[in-house]
């Protein structure tokens, strides 16, 4: 308890809470089509490949929108950028409520839902911006736990869709966005960790090897989380013939595990280092993905394997974003958005791979195996690049470098700012 009080005093907790709530609701909107996919698929009689593509569209659109929002946040502030984004989300959901009535319109709606997926880098930078380096992993883990919005989507969207129709869920979701907008406007304060830079400096991480190494690893951790979270309602419904509402409830068990463990991943990385944590995460991700593929005959075993898999993804997301502010302390929002963009693009691989695997082989197994091989490849890359990381900008294992003379003063300096 005393450690938590020390952490809370080191920064501005109302801003951290506002960032969490903002990301949480945006994440729920982002995966809305995935949560309602069994209803949408039934309405239009979609093939497995069409289902996979439909689910991947919001993921891909959100990925492409992340970096521009991160750059915008550098110019107008992260709080203002968040408020602008949430206003656009409400307008997009209005389009879904009034105008979506065909498969093509669903795809267009998927692009608009991508606006919500752009929130990632801004939310994490806003939430952690008041905290010193030694607490950033935990702060980012708390803000990033907003990916629990997936739980909201898969838990509430299916029963609402069954009762009122899936188009009506877009209108209901628009009304819920007023809560995080109000909290953001009243409680959040722009963090002091801002330095005016040129556009070239803002996008500098695009031209660095470290930026791309982080992005490739994030394809596994976050891409795996968002891709599987969006596809699981369809997977459970098609593979085990459970009801649409039960499919959402089973998905909730897995995604809740991933969201909760993200905070643990950030805190663990503060203690032992993000590199050490990521190494274990990538190995566990590969093993659990293979287990998910071979457990397709048992609903209970499959659910348990997915929970383990999502726990690995969640811890990996927290670990990776403990490292980002250490590597890019003055442009965390832009770096986070760029890394998140590539990672989320990788998330679009999973629904498509699963759909193609089922359509051409009659099984989802090959989709799981392909992603497991990618996780092992990223583990091999990490073990190579971490040698340079720990020689230049991080301590052994990926911990924060803090000068001994400044260790006790840093939290006070941030709080005073």
397 in the Ramachandran plot: left (φ > 0), alpha (ψ -120 to 50) or beta? left
CA distance linking residue 48 with residue 355, whole number of Å: 5
Angstrom CA distances, 369 to 47, 267, 299, stand at: 22, 30, 19
**Comparing 373 with 406, which gets the higher pLDDT?**
373
CA distance linking residue 151 with residue 31, whole number of Å: 10
Mean pLDDT of the chain: 88
Q: How far apart are the first and last CA of the chain?
A: 25
- The 10 Å CB-count burial string (b at 16+, else e) for 252-278 is bbbbbbbbbbbbbbbbbbbeebbbbbb
414, pLDDT greater than 50:
no
Contact 297, 324 (CB under 8 A): no
Region 245-257: mean pLDDT is 94
CA distance linking residue 39 with residue 132, whole number of Å: 46
- pLDDT tens digits for 161-173? 999 999 999 999 9
What is the pTM assigned to this prediction?
0.84
- pLDDT tens digits for 36-84? 999 999 999 999 999 999 999 999 999 888 878 877 887 888 999 999 9
Region 222-240: mean pLDDT is 94
- pLDDT tens digits for 187-210? 999 988 765 556 666 667 768 889
CA distance linking residue 174 with residue 207, whole number of Å: 38
Among the listed residues 56, 74, 65, 52, the one whose alpha carbon sits nearest the alpha carbon of residue 26:
65
Contact 126, 191 (CB under 8 A): yes
Of the pLDDT bands very low, low, confident and very high (cuts 50, 70, 90), residue 407 is very low
Contact 337, 122 (CB under 8 A): yes
417, pLDDT greater than 70:
no
- pLDDT tens digits for 116-153? 998 987 888 888 888 887 777 778 778 877 888 999 99
- pLDDT tens digits for 10-37? 778 899 999 999 999 999 999 999 999 9
CA distance linking residue 248 with residue 368, whole number of Å: 20
User: What is the separation of C-alpha 14 from the centre of its chain, rounded to a whole number of angstroms?
Assistant: 21
CA distance linking residue 14 with residue 11, whole number of Å: 9
Residue with tokens 């986070």: 336
Region 330-352: mean pLDDT is 80
- pLDDT tens digits for 289-324? 999 999 988 999 999 999 999 999 999 988 998 898
CA dihedral 374, 375, 376, 379 (to 10 degrees): 120
282, pLDDT greater than 70:
yes
DSSP-derived letter for residue 159 is H
**143 phi and psi angles, rounded to 5 deg:** -65, -40
- pLDDT tens digits for 83-102? 999 999 999 999 999 999 99
408, pLDDT greater than 70:
no
């Amino acid at each position: 308890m005393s450690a938590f009080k020390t952490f809370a005093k080191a920064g501005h907790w109302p801003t951290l809470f506002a960032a969490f709530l903002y990301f949480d609701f945006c994440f729920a909107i982002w995966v809305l089509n995935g949560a309602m996919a069994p209803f949408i698929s039934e309405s239009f009689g979609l093939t497995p490949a069409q289902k996979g593509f439909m689910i991947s569209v919001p993921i891909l659109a959100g990925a492409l929108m992340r970096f521009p929002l991160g750059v915008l946040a550098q110019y107008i502030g992260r709080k203002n950028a968040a408020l602008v984004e949430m206003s656009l989300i409400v307008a997009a959901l209005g389009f879904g409520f009034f105008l979506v009535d065909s498969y093509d319109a669903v795809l267009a709606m998927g692009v608009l839902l991508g606006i919500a997926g752009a929130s990632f880098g801004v939310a994490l930078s806003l939430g952690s911006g008041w905290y010193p380096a030694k607490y950033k992993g935990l702060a980012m883990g708390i803000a990033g736990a907003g990916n629990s919005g997936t739980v909201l989507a898969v838990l509430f969207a299916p029963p609402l869709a069954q009762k009122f129709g899936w188009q009506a869920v877009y209108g209901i979701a628009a009304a819920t966005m007023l809560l995080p907008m109000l909290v953001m406007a009243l409680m959040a304060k722009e963090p002091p960790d801002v330095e005016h830079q040129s556009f070239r400096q803002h996008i500098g991480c695009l031209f660095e090897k470290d930026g791309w190494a982080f992005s490739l690893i994030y394809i596994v951790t976050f891409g795996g989380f968002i891709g599987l979270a969006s596809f699981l309602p369809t997977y459970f419904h098609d593979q085990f013939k459970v009801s649409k509402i039960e499919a959402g409830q089973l998905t909730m068990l897995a995604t809740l595990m991933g969201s909760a463990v993200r905070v643990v991943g950030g805190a663990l990385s503060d203690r032992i280092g993000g590199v050490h944590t990521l190494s274990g995460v990538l190995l566990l991700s590969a093993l659990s993905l293979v287990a998910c593929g071979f457990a397709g005959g048992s609903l209970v075993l499959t659910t348990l394997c997915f929970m383990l898999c999502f726990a690995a993804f969640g811890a990996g997301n927290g670990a990776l974003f403990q490292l980002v502010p250490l590597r890019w302390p003055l442009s965390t929002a832009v770096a986070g958005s760029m890394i998140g963009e590539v990672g989320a693009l990788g998330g679009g691989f999973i629904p498509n791979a699963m759909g193609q695997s089922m359509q051409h082989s009659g099984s989802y197994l090959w989709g799981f195996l392909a992603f497991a091989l990618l996780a092992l490849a990223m583990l091999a890359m990490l073990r190579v690049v971490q040698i340079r990381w720990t020689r230049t900008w991080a301590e052994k294992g990926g911990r924060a470098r803090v000068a001994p003379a400044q260790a006790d003063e840093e939290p006070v300096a941030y709080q005073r700012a």
